């Protein structure tokens, strides 16, 4: 029944009905995961809107540091965003999230990782029954050579709190080898391993990073579409790509939605999911991402339904009715 609803919802452009269908978001960063309007309401004044086109990650960070950081780069701001992000997700019909919490957030708390975890735990509990929040440990490549932050990340993995780990920011900042021992430890702790790679091309580096860090899934990974061989390899090894279409367009990784390589990846048998990345900056919820892909003619309603259903496969009852 739900499948008919979702197909119809897409073809009749009924956003409320698209929202009503259960969905997942497995590529989202807690720090930027609520809508900008919510931050504006909370601080009581408006903020400069993100430019429609930004010069890659550097452009995004310039905007975030200048406009967003003053309002949210402290414990109170982060905790507001965390709760508000979960409200946004629930309203959008997202029933399972692998939301990443950067290890630097521990620095907002006098007791470090324990303080951060106590907050995350309240989030998990507060939304249980509505959304299955699976906390993910986030680590920026820029911190790979910062002994203090690396120690914090090791501590977080050792505590066995997080269900998955993700590596991100400028691919040039460190080679995967620099975080390999952290990933070995994460594997031993039973954590799912992910990393951002191939956001701006570079099919071979995707395979190399997967092999060195023994990744289960890749965040973005759209550069794989440059190589049929790498796409086949991803498909054979059942490596899922967690794609964020609007993020890719705004950060100039792809020219427009209609030519997004998610189509080529899908056609070559690579499993893909559809996600938000940073709702505060890119402004499109998971439901809107589905709608946009349909309207841009990238996928048929049935293909989007297949992608949605596949993303829910490992999501248990009652989140997945």
Binding site for Zn ion (CB under 5 A): 277
Nearest 5°: CA angle at 33, between 266 and 35?
105
Of the pair 117, 282, the CB lying nearest Zn ion is at 282
C-beta of 9 vs 140, nearer to Zn ion: 140
Tokens standing for residue 92: 């959008």
Taking the least distance from each CB to Zn ion, the nearer of 199 and 305 is: 199
In the complex, the smallest distance separating the C-beta of residue 36 from Zn ion, rounded to whole angstroms, is 17
For Zn ion, give the closer residue by CB, 9 or 243. 243
Q: How far apart are CA 286 and CA 275, in angstroms?
A: 6
Residue 12 CB, shortest distance to Zn ion, in Å, is 31
Q: List the one residue out of 96, 191, 95 whose CA is nearest residue 139.
A: 191
Which tokens in the block code for residue 101? 């919490």
Nearer to Zn ion, 132 or 277 (CB): 277
Cβ count within 10 A of residue 16: 9
Q: How far is the CB of 235 from Zn ion (least distance, A)?
A: 22
* Comparison of 149 and 194: residue with beta carbon closer to Zn ion: 194
Residue 136: C-alpha distances to residues 141, 153, 176, 250, 282 (Å): 16, 12, 18, 25, 21
b/e per residue 41-56 (b: at least 16 CB within 10 A)? eeeeeeeeebeeebee
User: In angstroms, what is the minimal distance from the CB of 168 to Zn ion?
Assistant: 5
SS3 256: coil
Cβ of residue 44: shortest distance to Zn ion, in angstroms? 29
Nearest distance in Å: CB 6, Zn ion: 25
> How far is residue 49's CA from residue 64's CA, in Å, rounded to a whole number?
10
| Residue in the shown chain whose Cβ atom is closest to Zn ion | 277
């Amino acid at each position: 029944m739900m499948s008919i609803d979702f197909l119809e919802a897409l073809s009749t452009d009924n956003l409320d009905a698209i929202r009503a269908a259960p969905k997942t978001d497995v590529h989202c960063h807690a720090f930027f995961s609520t809508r900008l309007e919510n931050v504006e309401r909370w601080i009581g004044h408006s903020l400069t809107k993100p430019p429609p086109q930004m010069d890659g990650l550097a452009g995004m960070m310039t905007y975030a540091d200048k406009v967003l950081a003053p309002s949210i780069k402290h414990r109170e701001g982060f905790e507001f965003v965390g709760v508000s992000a979960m409200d946004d997700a629930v309203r959008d019909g997202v029933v399972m999230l692998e939301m990443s919490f950067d290890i630097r957030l521990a620095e907002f708390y006098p007791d470090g990782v324990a303080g951060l975890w106590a907050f995350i735990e309240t989030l998990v509990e507060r939304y249980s029954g509505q959304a299955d929040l699976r906390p993910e440990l986030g680590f920026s490549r820029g911190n790979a050579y910062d002994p203090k932050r690396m120690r914090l990340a090791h501590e977080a993995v050792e505590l066995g709190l997080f269900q998955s780990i993700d590596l991100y920011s400028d691919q040039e900042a460190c080679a995967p080898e620099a975080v390999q021992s952290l990933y070995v430890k994460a594997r031993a702790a039973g954590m799912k391993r992910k990393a951002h790679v191939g956001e701006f091309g570079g099919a071979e580096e995707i395979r190399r990073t997967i092999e060195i860090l023994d990744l289960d899934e890749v965040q973005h990974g759209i550069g794989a579409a440059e190589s049929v061989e790498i796409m086949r390899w991803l498909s054979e090894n059942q490596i899922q790509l967690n794609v964020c279409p609007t993020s890719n367009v705004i950060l100039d990784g792809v020219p427009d939605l209609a030519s997004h390589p998610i189509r080529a990846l899908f056609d070559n048998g690579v499993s893909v999911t559809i996600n938000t990345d940073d709702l505060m900056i890119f402004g499109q919820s998971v439901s809107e991402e589905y709608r946009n892909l349909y309207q841009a003619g990238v996928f048929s309603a049935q293909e989007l339904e297949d992608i949605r259903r596949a993303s829910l496969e490992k999501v248990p009852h009652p989140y997945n009715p």
